[in-house]
Amino acid sequence: MNDTSQLRLLPWRSAEGKPCYLSTGDPNSRLSRLADEMEEEQIECGNVVLEGAQEVLADQVAGEVAVRFALTQAVLSLREVLLVAHSRGQRIPDAGDL
């Protein structure tokens, strides 16, 4: 993080669907490590969903239900991976800070 006073966007949402943030300058804190692990799981799940969606799209006889399910899962995964990307982008130091 550029500044220890910045908040880290976490890879999950509150029960109300609002973003969650962590205020710590310690990337090795317990919650920071948990967030890192969850980000990796979300990325891996995105890869699995992508493979499944590609299989459905390649199946010429896949029905509407299968296509809609694959698309729904792809949208959910994309939302999570974009949240991870946004969070990680916020933690990249400015060129002037290097």
Q: What is the pLDDT of residue 1?
A: 40
7: closest CA among 91, 93, 89, 92?
Answer: 91
**Which strand (E) or helix (H) includes residue 88?**
helix 64-90
Q: What is the pLDDT of residue 97?
A: 64
Q: What is the pLDDT of residue 2?
A: 43
* DSSP assigned state of 10: E
The two tokens of residue 39 are 């980000």
Q: Residues with Cβ < 8 Å from 7, sequence gap 6 or more?
A: 21, 22, 23
1: closest CA among 98, 97, 95, 92?
Answer: 92
Q: What is the pLDDT of residue 46?
A: 96
pLDDT averaged per 10 residues, the chain (length 98) = 66 93 89 95 96 97 97 96 92 75
The two tokens of residue 68 are 């809609």
Decide if 53 contacts 71 (C-beta within 8 A): yes
The two tokens of residue 18 are 């609002």
